[in-house]
Amino acid sequence: MKSDSLQDLLQHNTCLIKNHAPMKPTTKPPKFYREFVKKYPVVGETYEALGDAVHHQGPLNDRERALVKLAISGSNLYQSAFKAHIRKAVAVGIRREEIEHLALLMLPTVGFPTMMVLMGIIEDQFDNTNQSGISARTKDSPAN
């Protein structure tokens, strides 16, 4: 599709997902993301519409998508994304033990150092939260 503007792209994406309810945020985004969207609203809206569109294009449910996103962000050591996806995973019912197992499963592919970094992040996210997965200490910090 050739688009004259980001607004055209946003409208096109909105049409693509009109038969699907937009994804409801499961956790409050970090402060730096909220500030980015405030400063660049069209980019933020377009990005969120794209996320909604790809979520509804296949057979994976919320739980399966959360595990995939944890694996993608974790294997690439996108630490802020991994923290955010831990919070989102917990919000759809994924337990700490399952997230730890996901990190362990990465060991043969991404290596021991990466797996240990992920285990540390998991530990930090849960230990600072009474096991909820949503860290009060880091909820608005740029490290998220």
Q: What is the pLDDT of residues 46-92, one digit of tens each?
A: 999 998 899 889 999 999 999 999 999 999 999 999 999 999 999 99
Task: Please tell me whether residues 143 and 74 are part of one structural domain.
Answer: yes
Q: What is the pLDDT of residues 23-39, one digit of tens each?
A: 444 567 888 889 999 99
Task: Please tell me whether residues 20 and 69 are part of one structural domain.
Answer: no
**What is the residue range of 111's domain?**
61-144
Task: Please tell me whether residues 38 and 83 are part of one structural domain.
Answer: no
The C-alpha atoms of residue 43 and residue 5 are separated, in whole angstroms, by 11
Task: Please tell me whether residues 75 and 141 are part of one structural domain.
Answer: yes
Task: Please tell me whether residues 67 and 101 are part of one structural domain.
Answer: yes
Q: Is the pTM of this model over 0.85?
A: no
Q: Give the total number of structural domains in the chain.
A: 2
